[in-house]
Structure 1
């Protein structure tokens, strides 16, 4: 069996949100603490890539199975995070998640991982919901590392430019819950997430 680790990318500047997305209040903690909880609850190791470790609460800094690192290369958005993750993690597969996925849970992660492991001849298996690709909710094979290293060296910082060179598989419609891939990038999207959470608590969904 190919071993897999999780990588959470929390190195963005959150310019559209206006404050660090990973620290937004959510459920019993924040976006980041809740996502780390979901990742690690079954024992999966987690690498957290952040250039602001001083922001992190003690519960994450001392959580079992969680390793924290800044970018090992000049920060260049998600690509520097991917390069860092491949250089640190030894596993063949990486479950890569952005920190702004408030509804991502262990059930959805397991569905994505199981689907990826059931495919053959792929470099990346990414979530696709309602026709939209989510490359930061995806499983990356170590075979793709060379391409990300090259993209960084060539200053090609668009994810899609490199994904176009790789064997990309996407999840079939209906595999994942629509809200599992919802990104809260703006204050309006944060409010939308909070309203959806209220609906779920009251059973409205």
Structure 2
């Protein structure tokens, strides 16, 4: 069994951003490419989970595996993306990253991956008091719990974490600059970050 599969979540509508965030650029790279490169050192396979309207665009810009959410749960957010990859992959752990963290670094993924431990169902970044359910790893044994939540139309990541034995990794475990964990939601936020 493969140890770890990487998942880049890139299916959001990016309404506040005004255009698909995955294709915004930072230092000459698309946001989604930054996430893929971050995961490459820890994951044996990488999937980009996206919206049907963006599939062609992704396929023109990358050779990575690009998939849509499982049809039954399409539109139910990140939880549906994680579920879909767990169905396709046999990996023990699914390492999740959003596509809108342009300051994310490989070193973060490498440090976090070291905390993978059979005692826990999920390993989640919680630096500086902010729990980041989309920067973390989920053991495949969470699959049934995820499916139950999706069937109940409860797609909140917090609902999953409440049902899991979670190891929250903080700045006490490893230090990283706070900006690394910042999501970009609007173009002007990104402008502020770049300057």
TM-score (norm 1): 0.85
CA distance in 2, matches of 1:42, 1:78: 20
Distance apart, 1:7 and its partner CA = 0.4
Distance apart, 1:160 and its partner CA = 0.5
Mark the CA change 1:120 to 1:45 in structure 2 (over 3 Å): closer, same or farther. Answer: closer
Distance apart, 1:172 and its partner CA = 2.5
Distance apart, 1:107 and its partner CA = 1.0
Is 1:149–2:155 an aligned residue pair?
A: no
Is 1:53–2:55 an aligned residue pair?
A: yes
SS in 2 for 1:7: strand
Q: How does 1:172-183 map to 2 (within 5 A)?
A: 172-174=170-172, 175-177=174-176, 178-183=178-183
1:59-104 alpha-carbon deviations (Å, 9 max, x no partner):
41x2xxx311111132211111111111111101011001111111
Equivalent residue number for residue 19 of structure 1? 19
CA distance in 1, matches of 2:192, 2:89: 34
Distance apart, 1:188 and its partner CA = 3.0
Equivalent residue number for residue 136 of structure 1? 134
Q: How does 1:1-205 map to 2 (within 5 A)?
A: 3-40=3-40, 44-51=44-51, 52-56=54-58, 58-60=60-62, 62=63, 66-73=64-71, 74-115=74-115, 117=116, 119-174=117-172, 175-177=174-176, 178-195=178-195
Runs of 4+ off more than 4 Å: none
CA distance in 2, matches of 1:112, 1:10: 21
The answer to whether the 8 A contact 2:122-2:136 is kept is yes
Unaligned runs of 5+ in 2: none
The answer to whether the 8 A contact 2:42-2:109 is kept is no
CA RMSD, Structure 1 to Structure 2 (Å)? 1.9
Equivalent residue number for residue 200 of structure 1? none
CA distance in 1, matches of 2:170, 2:83: 27
Deviates more, 1:164-173 or 1:42-51: 42-51
The answer to whether the 8 A contact 1:28-1:34 is kept is no
TM-score (norm 2): 0.89
Distance apart, 1:42 and its partner CA = 6.8
CA distance in 1, matches of 2:175, 2:6: 18
The answer to whether the 8 A contact 1:125-1:168 is kept is yes
